[in-house]
Amino acid sequence: MTFIILFSGILLLILLITWFKLNAFLSFLVVSLGIGFAKGMSVTAITDSIQKGMGDLLGSLVVILVIGAMLGKLIADNGAAQRIISSLMQLFGKKYIVWALVITAFIVGIPLFYGIGFVLLVPLVVTLSYKYDIPAVYIGLPMLAALSVTHGYLPPHPSPVALVRQYHADLGLTLLYGFIAAVPAIIIAGPLFSMTLKKYKQKPLITFAGTPMEDKDLPGLADSLITALLPVILIGAATIVRLSGVSENIFTKIIIAAGDPIVALLLTLAYALYALVLKKGKKLEPCMVSMTEAVKDIAMILLIIAGAGALKQVLMDSGMGDQITASMHSFSAHPILAAWGIAAFIRVCLGSATVAGLTAAGIVAPMLAGSSVNPSLIVLATGAGSLMFSHVNDGGFWMFKEYFNLSIKDTIKTWSFMETIVSVVGLLMVFVINFFISH
């Protein structure tokens, strides 16, 4: 009966979002109420669970996600991404343009949310396609593979950060393992897969070509790279220090303090304000307005995360969590495969990677009791599953189709297949990492 209620809840969530077009946050609340009633919980118990789940999950994430959004907006609006790509283009040249775009997308994709990265970088692809007469799909899809991987695998993006909290994983360790899994996924789904895409010669609309800032207005390369990579460096350094087992001293204390995710993002935001704004003689007031807009842009993401937290808490408080755990142990389902498979199924049904990952986490988290698998790997497996086979119910599918002027059939053969490669390679890499750390 437990699994009938669970599957009915998932089906209801899918129907509410896809068929009835109900807001994802409201859909989570409706499903949470439905599951609670089906399990015999009182109205008060259900609403208490919903409030607790929302508060527990959002409480530790709001600061990280808000500062991350502000930082991404600063980088996008002040030319840091354009400086990085122009410098890499000079370094790699036309012959290796794909690699220049992939590396750029990977670097700027760490602090930038996917949608911002897309609308910021794709116009550069369109411009380069016309300038060098190169198929836009051939050079653009590998770049988007890198953006997709950072979106699904790496903190401080909303879904990975929320999954870290859901699974009680270590954020720094997730970041380190995420880099190991991300590189092969990007290379295979990006530059290698793109070798088959030269036949797609459709020209994107010239109206999508970018209007780049003048070189004199751009920040320096060092400042651009630091603002993009400093959070990763600080968090990664703190994780390495903690894992190394070195004796505690003032130096290690400073590294660990600076590597706290909130502190790391605040330090980076402060540096970005200086290097990208004040150093260039710009005023802070317009910048503050822009950063406020960035926070508005992620409001719905925060609500979706809150809704996922509510659903998870209802599953736990209703007793379904323990029943799911017992059933999964009897089926001997490997947590990594279960996390990937459930997230992949919901992704294909719903389209949203964020909703797929967070919904899957509510189901998978109870299974981890007594599991020897590192929770950070479950985060990555869920993230990889949430990227599986993007198709017509995903906004990213239509953005790619329209920007690159493709038919639906060609979009499936390029974009959808790329997302599938990213997901499957990610799963394989998680199993590889798990093998090495468990032996």
Residue 411 near residue 392 (C-beta atoms within 8 A): no
Tell me the C-alpha distance between 110 and 150, whole Å: 6
Residue 439 belongs to some domain of the structure: yes
Residue 295 belongs to some domain of the structure: yes
Give Cβ neighbours of residue 105 (< 8 Å, ≥ 6 apart). 117, 121, 143, 144, 146, 147, 150
Task: Specify the range with the lowest mean pLDDT, choosing from 110-124, 165-179, 215-229.
Answer: 110-124
Q: What does residue 167 show for φ and ψ, rounded to 5 degrees?
A: -95, 0
Residue 36 belongs to some domain of the structure: no
Inform me whether the pLDDT recorded for 234 exceeds 90: yes
252 HSE (CA, 13 A, CB side): 11
Residue 93 belongs to some domain of the structure: yes
Report pLDDT for 331: 62
Q: How far is CA 255 from the centre of its chain?
A: 26
Residue 1 belongs to some domain of the structure: no
Helices (H), 203-333: 221-244, 250-258, 261-272, 284-297, 299-317, 320-331
Inform me whether the pLDDT recorded for 407 exceeds 70: yes
pTM over 0.75: yes
Q: What is the pLDDT of residues 245-266, one digit of tens each?
A: 787 899 999 999 999 999 999 9
Inform me whether the pLDDT recorded for 69 exceeds 80: yes
Question: Residue 118 sits in which domain range?
Answer: 76-303+332-439
Residue 71 belongs to some domain of the structure: no
Q: What does residue 369 show for φ and ψ, rounded to 5 degrees?
A: -60, 120
Q: What is the pLDDT of residues 274-322, one digit of tens each?
A: 999 999 999 999 999 989 988 888 888 899 999 999 998 998 899 887 7
Residue 210 near residue 161 (C-beta atoms within 8 A): no
Q: How far is CA 238 from the centre of its chain?
A: 22
Count of the separate structural domains present in the chain: 1
Residue 74 near residue 272 (C-beta atoms within 8 A): yes
Residue 362 near residue 378 (C-beta atoms within 8 A): no
Q: What does residue 391 show for φ and ψ, rounded to 5 degrees?
A: -140, -150
Residue 153 belongs to some domain of the structure: yes
What SS3 state is found at 197?
A: coil
Residue 28 belongs to some domain of the structure: no
